[in-house]
Amino acid sequence: MPATVARRMSRLAPVHRVTRGIDRRTVVRTGIVAAVAYAAWLAIGAFGRPYNFFDMKIYHGAVVWWASGNELYDFIAPSTTLGFTYPPFAAVVMLPMSWLPVEAAGWLNALASITALAVVLTALLRPVVDRLGWSLRFTVAIAVPMAVAIEPSRETLGYGQVNLLLFALIMADLVGLRWRAKRGTHHDTATSAATRFLYSGVWAGAGIGLATAVKLTPALFVVYLMITRQWRAAMTAIGTTIGVTLGSFALVGEESRTYFTSVLWQTERVGAADMTPNQSLAGLLARLYDSIETPKLLWLAFAVLVLALGLSRAATARADGDELTAFTLVGLTANVISPISWSHHLVWVIPAIIVLADAAVRRREASRGLLPRVSSAAAGGVPGVNALRPPIWYPTLTGLRHGAAALGLYLLFLISPIWPYEHQLPEVSHYQDGLFGALMENSLAIALIVLVAALPWRPGAEPAFYTDRLARAGQLTGRR
């Protein structure tokens, strides 16, 4: 019997040698990431819709049609009334996919979009995990499948949309502004000129310019840059948009003239305002009025109010050193005031969830030092301190409101309750399921408006911007 055990143990020796160098923590983390990814896959199946690259088929069919010598904007997808609605620059960028089968183009777009999302989450989460001492790779590995599972991401990937790619372009400018505020401290004289240029951040604004050349709504970021007097980035964005548009006129002049003189103003090419996936303010008002069209004067009045509120709060957030929240507020504002904001456009809830979760952690961290400070003051005989001493459970509950908001926002966009109550006029009223059904059908739009009005910012969260602000304040004080 001992000999048999010895032989079996000798057979396991190679396995022991292979597993000896594997860290147990790595195994546990790998299991956690796999479990989160599997849960995200199940959530997409449970709460998502059937996806077959519907929009990608339109884009692909349009560029194939165009490459065959036909007029780009004359294309109508089979069995639909939909055609190509993007500017000619987007068509030029998409033209190479005409060489691929539509399924291959869809999967390639999905891979590029997930990669872009992973890069963006790495940039957004790095300051948070550095402060908390967490592993960046592990945090991002969990965050990516969680972000992919929610409504804007899964709709973007499933329909073959470009929203995550445009989101990455805009957030690249946030990183550029961050590096510029740090005055290029990431490099030394021994690095290459390309590296010095990259970390200098002088290119910040180019991403917004490119995104604006594809869709008009990112132009609101140019307005934000001008309001906050980030003139160089604003001029870079404007110059990029104008340069790309003029380049499109030079390359495809006929299509450019058709787009800017005709197609741009044909709002019916996009869809009716009251359609359930349109979760903008215009869609909300149209459904509340149970009408196909939005009441224009009412929409304009509320849109101007939301615009002023969103931009003013974004400017204040940046002044307090939180550029991420500022960018998020601008993106959310653009979603709200745009006449059409399909549910796959609402990618700005991703940084909003990060901001809320980090605000909760920051408040809890700040409260931990309150009890010891109060206790030491009481020990010194400061009168009245004991009466003001917070309960022992105070640090645990501090930040609970923001944490609950982050969790609630994530669950709302994970479950996406708009679809069980989807209705289409004139066949079915938007009040078919009563007030609760109307609330659910408009729930994402309501959440966006609440975020524009109430998303908290985190003073000093972006040290580079906060330091820059203090330096300017010191200069102004010195002049006085």
How many Å apart are CA 14 and CA 250, to the nearest integer?
A: 66
Nearest alpha-carbon partner for 155 in 287, 276, 64: 276
DSSP state at residue 389: P
Q: Decide if 207 contacts 195 (C-beta within 8 A).
A: no
pLDDT of residue 374: 47
Task: Report how many domains make up the chain.
Answer: 1
Render each residue's pLDDT in the chain as its tens digit; 480 residues: 555 555 555 665 555 555 565 678 889 999 999 999 999 999 999 999 988 999 999 999 999 999 998 999 989 888 888 888 899 999 999 999 999 999 999 999 999 999 999 999 999 999 999 988 999 999 999 999 999 999 999 999 999 999 999 999 999 999 998 888 876 455 555 577 777 777 778 889 999 999 999 998 999 999 999 999 999 999 999 999 999 999 999 998 898 898 888 887 876 677 789 999 999 999 999 999 999 999 999 999 999 999 999 999 999 999 999 999 999 999 999 999 999 999 999 999 999 999 999 999 988 777 665 545 544 555 555 555 555 555 555 455 667 888 999 999 999 999 999 999 998 888 899 999 999 999 999 999 999 999 999 999 998 887 766 655 555 555 545 555
pLDDT of residue 13: 57
CA distances from 157 to 28, 113, 116, 254, 347 (A): 29, 7, 12, 31, 12
How many Å apart are CA 20 and CA 278, to the nearest integer?
A: 55
The Cα diameter of the chain in Å comes to: 93
pLDDT of residue 20: 60
pLDDT of residue 476: 47
The answer to whether residue 367 sits within a structural domain is yes
Report the 3 state secondary structure along 338-386: CCCCEHHHCCCHHHHHHHHHHHHHHHHHHHHCHHHHHHHHHHCCCCCHH
pLDDT of residue 337: 97
Q: What angle do CA 157, 158, 164 make, to 5 degrees?
A: 20
Spell out the alpha helix ranges (H) of 48-134: 54-67, 88-94, 102-132
pLDDT of residue 276: 95
The answer to whether residue 199 sits within a structural domain is no
Nearest alpha-carbon partner for 416 in 165, 162, 154, 35: 154
The answer to whether residue 439 sits within a structural domain is yes
pLDDT of residue 311: 97
How many Å apart are CA 26 and CA 429, to the nearest integer?
A: 54
**HSE-up (13 A, CA, CB side) for residue 438:** 16
Count other Cβ atoms within 10 Å, centred on residue 257.
12
> Exposure string (b/e) for 30-69, b if CB count within 10 Å is 16 or more?
eeebeebbeebeebbeebbbeeebbbbbbbbbbbbbbeee
The answer to whether residue 372 sits within a structural domain is yes
pLDDT of residue 346: 97
Full residue range of the structural domain in which residue 320 is found: 271-472
Q: Decide if 423 contacts 432 (C-beta within 8 A).
A: yes
Q: Decide if 259 contacts 73 (C-beta within 8 A).
A: yes
Say if residue 345 is exposed, middle or buried (CB neighbours under 10 Å; 0-12, 13-18, 19+): buried
The answer to whether residue 210 sits within a structural domain is no
The answer to whether residue 202 sits within a structural domain is no
Among left, alpha and beta (phi > 0; psi -120 to 50; other), residue 280 is beta
Query: What does pTM read for this prediction?
Result: 0.87
